Amino acid sequence: MNAHTQRLQVHGPAGAIECAVDAPVEQAPRGVAVLCHPHPVHGGTMDNKVVQTLARAFVQLGYRTVRFNFRGVGKSEGAWDEGRGEVDDALAVIGATRDAHLPLVLGGFSFGAAMASQAAERLPEGQRAERLVLVGPASVNFRVAPVPEDTLVIHGEADEVVPLQATLDWARPQTLPVVVVPGVGHFFHGQLALLKNLVLRCWH
């Protein structure tokens, strides 16, 4: 993401997992944010622009931010596991990079949002995430787990990959608000600055 990005590998259930870590420069981190990328089979990587935008937002908010490639992507070992092993990958990265003394934030885009929700659900009591942010969650083809009431969900009105209605149908039983960005498609083309500002404004 920038010259200060640290590249590292952590041990995962299918082999090495490639990670990129960014940290606030002039302050001790207030927490750790782990971010999950979109669908590996359709070109999703940790360098996806939406994921990088989330990373920039969390660095600005004072978090040490961890992006990673799911199994079979980039330098991460293993092969696509249809959204099963990918949750295990996320949990392995969380376990390897979180700080027991700092709050954990989980985030993701599209497929990555579904994986982040499932990973959050599987964290044991006492190790739960402080908060989640889900952008364009893949509520059509994958299970998006129920999430805490303070989860930030952002969806484009004109999303051509995951219809807005699908995410509203997922959110409705939870009485979970969804931030809808008018006229914006799945990848937030031309609106990444707005996406970043939404995260900054909605955080506390």
pLDDT greater than 80 at residue 102: yes
186: nearest Cα among 162, 150, 153, 152: 162
Report the Cα 71 to chain-centroid distance in Å: 16
Q: What is the pLDDT of residue 134?
A: 98
- Is the Cα torsion angle 41, 196, 94, 178 positive or negative in sign? negative
Q: What is the pTM of this model?
A: 0.97
Q: Which domains can be identified in the chain, with CATH numbers?
A: 6-202 (3.40.50.1820)
Q: Per-residue confidence at 1, pLDDT binned at 50, 70, 90?
A: low
pLDDT in tens, 36-88: 999 999 999 999 999 999 999 999 999 999 999 999 999 999 999 999 999 99
Share of the chain above pLDDT 90, in %: 95
